Amino acid sequence: MTRLTAHTAIIAFTLAAWAFAQGPPPRDPDALNKRSRAAEAAGLKEPFKGITATGEVEPALFAIRSTGVSTEPVRKAAAAFLAALTADQRNKTTYAHDDDEWRSWMNQHFYQRKGVSFLEMSEAQRETAFALMRAALSAKGLKLTRDIMRLNHTLGELNNNNFDEYGEWRYHLTVMGTPSATEPWGWQFDGHHAIINYFVLRDQVVVTPFFTGSEPAIAKAGKFKGTAILADEQAQGLAMINALTEAQRAKAILNFSKTGNNNLTEAWKDNVVLDYAGIRASELNADQRKRLLALVALYVGNISEGHARVRMDEVGAHLDRTHFAWIGKTEPGSVFYYRVHSPVILIEFDHQNPANLRHLATAPGPNAEHIHTIVRTPNGNDYGKDLLRQHYLQHPHTAGQP
C-alpha cells in the first residue's frame, strides 16, 4: 500500500473529502444501498493489518492478560438486549465474532447500515440497548453518544425537518459472537457521527475505532436547544498547543493554514500508514506531559472507569514515544486539527468543512460547527484484532466460529 506521510495524506484526504462534499447523495433506497455496498467492497478489499507508522506492525505491544476489571455487567446487558429482540430482529443483528461487519462502518448519514435500528425498536427494547451502552461506557461517554443522537435531530430540523435522512433514532446496533465470559465477542453502535466498536475477551476490552462528531456542534434552537458536544476536547487541545514554548510549537505545528478536512483514519482507513509527526512527549516538561495525558484521558474516559484506567496505563507506558501534532492557528476561536499518536493509541480532532449545513455556512472552509474525532488502536489491535489473533494461537478450534 502507498505510504501516507503526514503531509501527503492530509492533501489526498482533503481533496477526496472536498470532492465528496460537492453534492448530496441520491435518496433512492436502491441507489443508497448500491453506493453503501460499493464503499464496503472498496474499503474491505485489503485484509486487515492495522494502522502503522512504517507499513509493518510493531510486535508485542498487546498481550492477553487479566485486567482485574470485570466485563460481566456488559455481558449480562448484551444478553438482555438480545433477549428483548424479536427473532427476526435478533437474526439480522447477530454476526460471528470475527465477521467483517466489524469493519463495515461509515460516518456519512447516507450509509445503509446493518443490524437493528433504534428507529424500529420499541421503548422497552431501546432501554435494553441503552443499558448495554451504560454498562460499557462512562456516564460521560453515554451522554456524549446521546447528545450526538439528539444533534442529529437538530440537523434534520435545520434541513427543513428532513427526518427521512436525519434524526435521533437513526442508529444501529450489531452484536458479534455470543456474549461470553470466556470467548471473544463484542458489539458495534453505528450511525451518523457516532461509531463505537466494543470488543471483549474475558476481562479485556478494546473500544476502537471510536468515532464522535456532529454538525452542528451545538443546538442553538429547536427540540434539543442547548445540547453541545466536544467543547472540552476543543478547549484542552487549544490549551495544549498554547502550553508549548515557541521552539516546541515549531516542532508541533505542521501547518498554520487549515483549509480543509484533515482527519486521516476515518471509515475504510484501517490500514493507513501514518508516520509520527509533531513534537515527541519526551521533549516536554513534566507539566506539559501531564497536560497531554489529561487530553488523552478526555477520549479514553468515554469508556467505563475501570477499563479506562487500564487503557491509560497502556498509554502511559508509551508516553515517551507519543507525539502531538497540530494544523491551524492557535488563537481563541481558531479552527484547527490535532493528533496524538503513539504505538498504542491514535487520536484525531478536526474542525471540518460544512457538509449537511452548507446552505447555512457564512464563510468557506472549516468551521467549529462541524467536528470529527476518531480514536484508534494502531499496530493491529483495532477491533481487538491482535488479541483475537493471539486467542486463535492458544485456541485454534475457535477460529471462524460464531
301-353 pLDDT tens trace: 999 999 999 999 999 999 999 999 999 999 999 999 999 999 999 999 999 99
- Per-residue confidence band for 201, with pLDDT thresholds at 50, 70 and 90: very high
- Rounded to whole angstroms, the Cα distance separating 50 from 272 reads 7
204 vs 185, 208, 310, 387, CA distance in Å?
11, 13, 9, 9
Cβ atoms of 386 and 380 within 8 Å: the answer is: yes
Give me the residues paired with residue 210 across strands: 196, 375
> Among 61, 52, 36, 40, which residue's Cα sits nearest to residue 1?
52
What number is the average pLDDT over the span 5-31? 47
- Rounded to whole angstroms, the Cα distance separating 280 from 343 reads 12
Among 151-160, 161-170, 314-323, 388-397, the range scoring the smallest mean pLDDT is 388-397
How many CA atoms, within 13 angstroms, populate the side-chain half-sphere of residue 11? 6
Q: How distant is the alpha carbon of residue 173 from its chain centre?
A: 15
107-147 pLDDT tens trace: 999 999 999 999 999 999 999 999 999 999 999 999 999 99
How high does pLDDT run on average in the chain?
93
267 phi and psi angles, rounded to 5 deg: -60, 140
Q: What integer pLDDT is reported at residue 121 of this predicted model?
A: 98
Rg over CA atoms, the chain: 20
Among 41-45, 48-52, 53-57, 395-399, the range scoring the smallest mean pLDDT is 395-399
- Rounded to whole angstroms, the Cα distance separating 236 from 240 reads 6
Q: What integer pLDDT is reported at residue 21 of this predicted model?
A: 35
84-113 pLDDT tens trace: 999 999 999 999 999 999 999 999 999 999
- Rounded to whole angstroms, the Cα distance separating 325 from 343 reads 15
Q: Which of left, alpha, beta for 161 (phi over 0: left; psi -120 to 50: alpha)?
A: left
What number is the average pLDDT over the span 5-34? 52
Share of the chain above pLDDT 70, in %: 92
Residue 65 grid cell: 492478560
Domains in the chain: boundaries: 6-398
| Model confidence at 20: pLDDT above 60 | no
Q: Is the link from the previous residue into 26 a cis peptide, with omega within 30 of 0?
A: no
Q: What integer pLDDT is reported at residue 402 of this predicted model?
A: 52
- Per-residue confidence band for 9, with pLDDT thresholds at 50, 70 and 90: very low
Neighbours of 306 (CB within 10 A): 15
Q: What integer pLDDT is reported at residue 29 of this predicted model?
A: 80
| Model confidence at 22: pLDDT above 60 | no
- Per-residue confidence band for 398, with pLDDT thresholds at 50, 70 and 90: low
DSSP β-ladder status, 94-95 and 171-176: parallel
| Model confidence at 367: pLDDT above 90 | yes
- Rounded to whole angstroms, the Cα distance separating 237 from 135 reads 28
- Rounded to whole angstroms, the Cα distance separating 29 from 228 reads 31
| Model confidence at 75: pLDDT above 80 | yes
Q: What integer pLDDT is reported at residue 28 of this predicted model?
A: 81
